[in-house]
A and B are shown apart, each in its own frame.
Chain A
């Protein structure tokens, strides 16, 4: 009980301190340099003024991030199953994955636009590319790291390959999968925003937070720019919270990374 109270109080305290410092710096700035750091009040006002633009942009970015993230989950799980088959498969396919991960998003973006057109499709596809790598690497590692003793036990039970996969390798890989998922959940909203800056479009109200940030910057609406930054953060936090919750549901009964419930 005391711990849960602390767990709420401490982050709240941190937030209060950050806002206090923020206000102090804002007040300390002279009138002609105050635009460098708009105060909390100005940012809140910007949220009000820009609520139509911001909520539409947030919705568009969320769509891109979620579609890309979801696609990355499905494809990475299938790819991991393939990659876990043998070291030969891994050594032949890893360079390809690496190449995809090594190419910076601003370079991939125009290629993507060329193939599927600017807007949601491109944003989702680029987010997929960003989220895919940590997922596939971690999940594959999990699938091939099964405790040797347990594999031997399954051999002894004369378990089929499928039984070994579903009763042993997949559950054993779950903690690794969730590690990848947490990284991917952090990268996905960021990826979607950067993709939007490079491959977004305002046509059909399709612009996301990245696009909106470019517009605000060009119009010198700095308070609105800060509001955009906060919105992006909140999206990232929400996605992370969902993933953390799912991880807890899947693992807290048995995995050592969670406290014993009966301590």
Chain B
């Protein structure tokens, strides 16, 4: 991580100490339980390279959302350590953005105000907010709907706003918890392609939780399969498909082969739970 002396800093001072590149993420024996409940995550160790797009799959309740919340610093670890570009989750929080399964937009704010809310909460000046808002709404192709309220949007559009809001912080680490789980197949595929297109312009490391193997394979270069009760890292699978990926990618034999392989692994893990 580069730290510049104040007078040579290429960015205004509030941005000093920012990570200049997408971070690596390391789990060292991460353990989590809530109160004195059962173990949710049991000694999970993994390493994610800078700029990786990682998917996490596994049976329901195996601790995928919990893992993301730990990375976001929303919940304390019970044991072990997480390092994000060498920093603890709380220290990296300013560079981390979260996209929930629900769009979680404020219904009383229009699209523009929803998108710039995180910046407003940080005290970013209005001019800078407006510039950022225009940029991220363009990225998700919703520039025209800036004045609309959430209830005037379709499910897919709401999710796009939610993603734009996350991007407004110029995050270096993006955490997405089943963001497209509630959408129909076609919308989901479109948004997958858009997400990868945005990734070509914005550099971040991504953690993507999903129940769809096809989605995981299409998006990521690495897939972590968790097993349940307690959540453990079961397998790590590389996805050697080159970026940029296009709709054509879904028709390649290589893609189908990987999907079949990952499905088999996931199936064995799920069956072990049942």
A residues with a Cβ closer than 8 A to B are 147, 149-150, 152-159, 163, 167-168, 171-172, 174, 253-256, 260, 262
> Which residues from B are CB-within-8-Å of A157?
117-118, 121-122
Q: Which of B83-123 contact A (CB under 8 A)?
A: 93-94, 98, 100, 102, 104, 106-109, 117-118, 120-122
Known: A150-B104, A153-B100, A156-B72. A253 touches B149 (CB 8 A): yes
Q: Which residues of B contact A (CB under 8 A)?
A: 72, 74, 93-94, 98, 100, 102, 104, 106-109, 117-118, 120-122, 149-152
Contact residue among A149, A154, A167 (Cβ-Cβ distance under 8 Å from B100):
A149
Most chain B CB atoms below 10 A, which of A147, A157, A167: A157
* 7 pairs of residues in contact across A and B, judged by CB atoms under 8 Å: A153-B100, A155-B74, A157-B118, A159-B121, A171-B106, A253-B108, A254-B108
In the bound complex, residues from chain B placing their C-beta under 8 Å from that of A156 are 72, 74, 93, 98
Task: A256-B151, A260-B151 given; name 9 further pairs at CB < 8 Å.
Answer: A147-B104, A149-B104, A152-B100, A156-B72, A158-B121, A163-B121, A172-B108, A253-B108, A260-B152
Question: A259: shortest Cβ distance to chain B, in Å?
Answer: 11
Q: Chain A residues with Cβ under 8 A from B108's Cβ?
A: 171-172, 174, 253-255
In the complex, what distance in Å separates the CA atom of A240 from the CA atom of B121? 36
Chain B residue with minimal CB distance to A164?
Answer: B121
Q: Which residues of A contact B72 (CB under 8 A)?
A: 156
A160's closest neighbor in chain B, by CB? B121
Q: How far does the alpha carbon of A155 sit from the alpha carbon of B90 in the complex, in Å?
A: 12
Name the residue on B nearest A156 (C-beta). Answer: B98
A254 partner residues in chain B, CB cutoff 8 A: 107-109, 149-151
Complex CA–CA separation, A174 to B118 (angstroms): 22
Total contacts A-B at CB 8 Å? 50
In the complex the two chains form, what is the Cα distance from A187 to B98 in whole Å? 46
Closest to B98 in A: A156
The reply to whether B107 and A158 contact each other, CB–CB distance below 8 Å, is no
A170 to chain B, nearest CB (A): 10
What residue in chain B is nearest A262 (Cβ atoms)? B152
The docked-state distance in angstroms from the alpha carbon of A254 to that of B147 is 12
Give A104 Cβ to nearest chain B Cβ, in Å: 39
- In the complex, which of the residues B94, B122, B151 has the most CB atoms of chain A within 10 Å of its own CB atom? B151
- Alpha-carbon distance between A113 and B151 when the two chains are bound, in angstroms: 51
CA–CA, A23 and B53, complex, Å? 80
Most B CB contacts (10 A, CB to CB) among A156, A158, A254 go to: A156
CB within 8 Å for A255 and B117 given contacts A149-B102, A156-B98: no
How far does the Cβ of B228 sit from chain A's closest Cβ, in whole Å? Answer: 23
Q: How far is A157 from B116 in the complex, measured between Cα atoms in Å?
A: 12
Question: Complex Cα distance A188/B106, Å?
Answer: 33
Task: Give Cα A255 to B149, complex, Å.
Answer: 10
Complex: chain A residue closest to B148, CB-CB: A262
| Chain A residue contacts of B120, Cβ below 8 A | 167
CA gap between A168 and B107 in the complex, in Å: 10
For the complex, give the distance between the alpha carbons of A260 and B149 in Å: 10
Complex alpha-carbon distance, A171 and B122, angstroms: 19
Is B152 touching A167 in the complex (CB atoms < 8 A)?
A: no
What's the Cα separation between A158 and B118 when bound, in Å?
9
The CA of A256 and the CA of B152, in the complex, are separated in Å by: 11
Taken together as a complex, chains A and B put the C-alpha atoms of A244 and B76 apart, in Å, by 46
